A and B are shown apart, each in its own frame.
Chain A
Amino acid sequence: GAGVSQSPRYKVTKRGQDVALRCDPISGHVSLYWYRQALGQGPEFLTYFNYEAQQDKSGLPNDRFSAERPEGSISTLTIQRTEQRDSAMYRCASSLALAGGTGELFFGEGSRLTVL
């Protein structure tokens, strides 16, 4: 596609349910990041991939959070047993370059998660 696509755009779920957030990066982009963004704040790093390899998951808050990018393209961020504190905007970004390098990030529109 022309840009980074995220789905669903909005997700409302009950506490304790599992959710899966999908990111479809720009075709050919090597690195893919997941960030969480609280209202009015800058993006908070969660995890990133170079190709299909998850390089760093130090930003994932706890073991209820996981991410995968099995074929080096589409990525899924999964949150198990959701809690109210998980409510946030989850943003995906991709870049033509390896992570941390000179390639600018292209952000998706985000998935707004609300846990009731």
Chain B
Amino acid sequence: ILNVEQSPQSLHVQEGDSTNFTCSFPSSNFYALHWYRWETAKSPEALFVMTLNGDEKKKGRISATLNTKEGYSYLYIKGSQPEDSATYLCAFGEYGNKLVFGAGTILRVKS
């Protein structure tokens, strides 16, 4: 059974704070690690797809790192804004196999 865990479950920060959260996944048979942003009443949208150990991706104020040997990925948000409020989902993929999602981290940014 593939187990993808995300922590913390929820996070409340003030506007301007930087924050980060974790996705843990199996370290064997790794092929890809996905991050998605999911706003309430909308569908999840892809942020990053990462495949290489040590990879770092950045999109605006959001960045992610990947450690496949120890089985974790961090998502960082610099200078959080109210519009960053969403649920952040990670998903683990083995090649040719299903993509398994974690339960998500709920981020609420107060202005």
Contacts and interface: CB of A to CB of B under 8 A. Distances in A.
**B partners with A:** yes
Interface of A: 33, 35, 40-45, 48, 50, 55-56, 59, 91, 98-110
B103 A100 contact: no
Given A42-B104, A102-B32, 16 more contacts: A40-B106, A42-B101, A43-B44, A48-B98, A55-B97, A100-B93, A100-B95, A101-B31, A101-B96, A102-B51, A104-B49, A105-B36, A106-B46, A107-B43, A107-B45, A108-B43
B34 A105 contact: yes
A101 B43 contact: no
Contact of A56 (B93, B95, B98): B98
Contacts of A42: 6, 87, 89, 101-104
A43 B34 CA distance: 13
